[in-house]
Amino acid sequence: TQLLEQSPQFLSIQEGENLTVYCNSSSVFSSLQWYRQEPGEGPVLLVTVVTGGEVKKLKRLTFQFGDARKDSSLHITAAQPGDTGLYLCAGDFTGGFKTIFGAGTRLFVKA
Amino acid sequence: DTGVSQNPRHKITKRGQNVTFRCDPISEHNRLYWYRQTLGQGPEFLTYFQNEAQLEKSRLLSDRFSAERPKGSFSTLEIQRTEQGDSAMYLCASTLSGADGYTFGSGTRLTVV
Per-residue pLDDT tens digits for B93-105: 999 876 678 999 9
Residues A9-46 pLDDT 10s: 999 999 999 999 999 998 898 899 999 999 999 999 99
Interface check for A99 against chain B (CB to CB < 8 A): the answer is yes
φ/ψ of residue B70, rounded to 5: -65, 135
pLDDT, averaged across chain A: 94
Rounded Cα distance between A58 and A46, Å, is 8
The pLDDT of residue B1 is: 56
Residues 6+ apart with CB under 8 A from B101: A33, A35, A45, A48, A90, B95
Contact A101 B100 (CB under 8 A): no
Per-residue pLDDT band at A1 (split at 50, 70, 90): low
The pLDDT of residue B109 is: 97
Rounded Cα distance between A29 and A42, Å, is 23
The pLDDT of residue B97 is: 75
Give the minimum alpha-carbon distance from A35 to chain B in angstroms, rounded to a whole number: 9
Per-residue pLDDT band at A96 (split at 50, 70, 90): confident
**Interface residue ranges in chain B relative to chain A, Cβ cutoff 8 Å:** 4, 33, 35, 40-45, 48, 50, 55-56, 91, 93, 98-107, 109
Per-residue pLDDT band at B14 (split at 50, 70, 90): very high
Residues B32-57 pLDDT 10s: 999 999 998 999 999 999 999 999 89
pLDDT, averaged across chain B: 93
Spatial contact of B16 and B82, defined as CB atoms under 8 Å apart: yes
Give the minimum alpha-carbon distance from A91 to chain B in angstroms, rounded to a whole number: 9
Interface of A with B in 28-57 (CB under 8 A): 30-31, 33, 35, 40-45, 48, 50
Give the minimum alpha-carbon distance from B32 to chain A in angstroms, rounded to a whole number: 10
Spatial contact of B18 and B79, defined as CB atoms under 8 Å apart: yes
Nearest to A97 among B48, B100, B101 (CB): B48
Average pLDDT over residues A46-73: 96
Average pLDDT over residues A5-11: 96
Q: How far from each other are the two terminal CA atoms of chain A, in whole angstroms?
A: 40
The pLDDT of residue A71 is: 95
DSSP string, B21-45: EEEE--TT--EEEEEEE-TTS--EE
The pLDDT of residue B98 is: 64
